[in-house]
Amino acid sequence: MTSSSVTLLVIAKEPRPGRVKTRLTPPFTPEEAAGLAEAALADTLEVVARTPARRRVLVLDGAPGHWLPAGFEVVPQCAGGLDERLAAAFAGCDGPSLLIGMDTPQVTPELLTVDFGDCDAYFGPAEDGGFWALGLAEPDPGLLRGVPMSTPGTGAAQRRRLASLRVRELPRLRDVDTAYDATLVAGEAPGGRFAARLARLTAARP
């Protein structure tokens, strides 16, 4: 399966103060943290828009805003834990699919251009022990349900679920969780909205 036959999924929260990037506060205010989240989401969606795909789907908790580019389907997240919400995102796909979050604005079209011709899955580990990307040639929600999420062992637990599949590993990336993460990620993608927003906030601080 070539990249043009793949569904690209982005699971995200509407960037509203107090609901996103709460680990950035402090040093940032809830409003500043939401602004950084919006910039990260906008960068991510712009990259997905430039990546060959059959469908581009934003699986959203909240309402879309001006940051949403053209060409995306928007579907609401289901209720339940993150494992259930990720599983439901894949359940809505009828062919090879790659899912990412909104926490890696340094992602590139090259990283997201995947080919399932000789593999069953893609797995992108994250520096914090989670994972930033999961691709399945045949979406199976059961591969995600019950995986403990938001722990240092999440990535390892999810990777074990793929043990019987032919897996291609994607590069390890850093999620934006803390201010330290934000600085490092901005350095990896200095030309993006996220880096620009962080620079403005940093320059405005006493």
Going by C-alpha positions, the residue among 67, 64, 84, 65 that lies closest to residue 75 is 64
pLDDT of residue 4: 73
pTM metric for this prediction: 0.95
Q: In the structure encoding, which two tokens stand for residue 4, read together? A: 């043009």
pLDDT of residue 205: 76
Q: What is the DSSP letter of 105?
A: T
Going by C-alpha positions, the residue among 148, 105, 106, 107 that lies closest to residue 130 is 148
Alpha helices in 92-153 (DSSP H): 109-112
Q: Which of 11-25 are b and which e, b meaning 16 or more Cβ less than 10 Å from the residue's Cβ?
A: bbbbbbbeebbeebb
Question: Which contacts of 163-168 are long-range, i.e. CB under 8 A and separated by 24 or more positions?
Answer: 165/119, 165/120, 165/121, 166/118, 166/119, 166/120, 166/121, 167/119, 167/120, 167/121, 167/122, 167/123, 168/114, 168/119, 168/121, 168/122, 168/123
Q: In the structure encoding, which two tokens stand for residue 170, read together? A: 């994607």
Amino acid at 157: A
Amino acid at 121: A
Q: For residue 172, give the 3-state DSSP assignment.
A: coil
Q: Rounded to whole angstroms, what are the CA distances from 143 to 57, 121, 140, 149, 164?
A: 20, 11, 6, 13, 11
pLDDT of residue 1: 52
* Phi, psi torsion values for 183, nearest 5 degrees: -65, -45
Q: In the structure encoding, which two tokens stand for residue 195, read together? A: 């880096």
Domains located in the chain, CATH noted:
3-204 (3.90.550.10)
| Residues in the chain where the model's pLDDT stays below 70 | 1-3, 206
Longest dimension (CA), the chain: 54
Alpha-carbon gap, residue 11 to 171, rounded angstroms: 19
**Torsion 103-105-106-107 (CA) sign:** positive
